[in-house]
Structure 1
């Protein structure tokens, strides 16, 4: 008979994600994770196999969280351009300050290296773009692929903010997205 788990895989993956976000992807080792979550290294190896699989499972868990957050926010916003802005500003709140954002770029590097994680990113892009496009359905003649255009503008605004992070990221993003909507509404 197997012993009951004292911590679920989700709890362990949350601890792994905190390690990655706090110290970078290379900080995720079985030894460090064992110390962070209180399980033995051997138990973690049994559950996750090897470091590459552990990292992939951790980042897939992060994608699950982002998908859930996007779906939840997408279900609550008004289907208007202002609702689209509200959604993207809310998604921007998790970035924190410049140091946190910079560490997040290291995580993105890991997503880009792994075809499974890249596929999750592509699926999220499609889902987010569809939600955003629905917010422009009432607009007369919105540009083709307006959802993807807005998502791309949002990501660009985050990058441009990072070079001069003198104001709050959400304020910067909101202002940039308002200007984007004004430009396409003409």
Structure 2
């Protein structure tokens, strides 16, 4: 059977993200992505230039997806403490939840990826602070809640037992 001549970037990026999730950074090579997508390795080289460029493009696409999910979560979450919890739950419950968030931390050495991470964290903390009353106290509670949420996501991937976000928020109040 002949190889497909073209596959859209989002399909290639999904394959790369699956490889990152299953085998880490070392699992992604032109040859492994070629096998997963059916494209020829030289086609991938032409499209992305280097392995690092291919991985970066996939991760930047994942940040774009996360920004879109964050838009939807912000729009749906009420402007109160329950809305803060709802915002984080929506980011966890969507397709590509905490596992995808973990993947995005793969390459913080790259300045563009690190900047996307910092901007997203700032955005989520601001959205949380708005829902937690604003001001200095709201910003402080938002930073703590964000850190607890990210810690929970990290340890849940390692099999740790989580806590309920709303219980953490009650303790912070």
Asked if Structure 1 and Structure 2 have the same fold, meaning a TM-score greater than 0.5 normalized by the shorter chain, the answer is yes
Give the alignment's Cα RMSD to 1 decimal: 2.6
1:35 Cα deviation after fit: 1.0
Higher relative contact order (CA 8 A, sep 6+): 1
1:149 Cα deviation after fit: 2.5
CA distance in 1, matches of 2:42, 2:140: 49
What is the aligned partner in structure 2 of residue 85 from structure 1? 85
Q: 1:95-114 to 2 correspondence within 5 Å?
A: 95=98, 105=102, 108=105, 110-114=106-110
Distance of aligned partners of 1:38 and 1:141 in 2 relative to their CA distance in 1, 3 Å threshold: closer
Matched, 1:145 2:126: no
Deviation digits for residues 82-104 of structure 1, max 9, x if unmatched? 11111212323423xxxxx5x97
Could you tell me which of 117, 122, 128 is aligned with 1:126? 122
Q: Are the counterparts in 1 of residues 31 and 41 from structure 2 also a CA contact under 8 Å?
A: yes
Q: Give the TM-score normalised by the residue count of structure 2.
A: 0.82
Distance of aligned partners of 1:127 and 1:160 in 2 relative to their CA distance in 1, 3 Å threshold: same
CA distance in 2, matches of 1:34, 1:159: 30
Q: Which runs of 5+ in 2 are unaligned?
A: none
CA distance in 2, matches of 1:92, 1:131: 16
CA distance in 1, matches of 2:116, 2:123: 10
Distance of aligned partners of 1:77 and 1:143 in 2 relative to their CA distance in 1, 3 Å threshold: closer
What is the aligned partner in structure 2 of residue 98 from structure 1? none
What is the aligned partner in structure 2 of residue 178 from structure 1? 166
Q: Give the TM-score normalised by the residue count of structure 1.
A: 0.77
Matched, 1:165 2:170: no
